Amino acid sequence: PDWNPSLWSETFEDLVDDGGELDYGDSWTLNFNYSQTEQVSKEERKKGWKQYLLLIFFIFRCANCRRTWPSGRVNVLFRYRLRGRRGNVIMRPFGQACRRCHDVFLLPGFSKEIMKAALRKLCSKIRKNCYNEDEGDTPRDMVKKWTKPHETDLCEACEAGICTQRDD
């Protein structure tokens, strides 16, 4: 699947509105910022912004040469806050470059199943940090699979300085 921000927004809305993931009577929205960094300034922290970096498994496909490769290190950065009765989530997916073409970072597409699991983990963090709820037994991994060693020169999150070699 290709990168589809509207599907992420719809899935988040379904989980929040119909799925009861954030059942506190507040209004939550999901937006995207493709230049967002992991740096949360002192001023932003004062305004209630928190962040969550999630690692997800995905199979990339180069639009140019059609080569595919698996990655167990797809980084997705979420920034979120609740002010009054309005919650806002800002999401940034990080891409990877094709080893053969090496020209542009490709954004990941995810199956609806992986998307829901990722957003449920995000909702668990929001419940903990915005509503003081226990995280409970949320799944630790998003489909763990063996992949080749990490190639930092092909990783957009490495270039941004936020990729880690540890599990979250």
99: nearest Cα among 68, 59, 55:
68
Sign of CA dihedral 84, 87, 88, 94: positive
Residue 136's pLDDT band (cuts 50, 70, 90): low
Residues 18-27: tens digit of each pLDDT: 888 998 999 9
Q: Is residue 111 part of a domain?
A: yes
Q: Which helix (H) or strand (E) holds 96?
A: strand 96-97
DSSP 8-state symbol, 48: T
Instruction: Answer whether residue 31 shows pLDDT above 50.
Output: yes
Q: Above 50 in pLDDT, residue 14?
A: yes
Q: What percentage of the chain reaches a pLDDT higher than 90? A: 55
- Over residues 104-119, mean pLDDT: 89
Residue 117 lies in a domain: yes
Dihedral, 100, 95, 111, 16 alpha carbons, nearest 10: 180
Average pLDDT over residues 27-48: 93
Residue 165 falls inside a structural domain:
no
pLDDT value, residue 1: 67
Residue 127 has pLDDT above 80, yes or no: yes
Rounded mean pLDDT, 20-48: 92
Q: Given a cut of 80, is residue 164 above it in pLDDT?
A: no
| pLDDT-wise least confident of 4-18, 93-107, 145-159 | 145-159
**Least confident window among 8-22, 78-92, 103-117:** 103-117
**Token digits for 67?**
């080569």
Whether pLDDT at 142 is above 70: no
Total tally of structural domains belonging to the chain: 1
Instruction: Decide if 58 is inside a domain.
Output: yes
Does pLDDT of 16 surpass 60? Answer: yes
Per DSSP, the three-state class of 117 is helix
**Residues 109, 3: contact at Cβ < 8 Å?**
yes
Tell me, yes or no, whether 145 lies in a domain: yes
Q: Could you tell me the residue range of the domain that residue 29 belongs to?
A: 5-159
167 falls within a domain: no
Does residue 122 sit within a domain? yes
Exposure letters 75-114 (e unless 16+ CB within 10 A, then b): bbbbbbbbeeeebbbbbbbbbbbbeeeeeebbbbbbeeeb
Question: Is 82 within a domain?
Answer: yes
**What is the pLDDT of the chain when averaged over all its residues?**
87
Residue 147: predicted pLDDT: 58
Residue pointed to by tokens 């379904």 = 14
**Count of helix runs (H) and strand runs (E) in the chain:** 4, 6
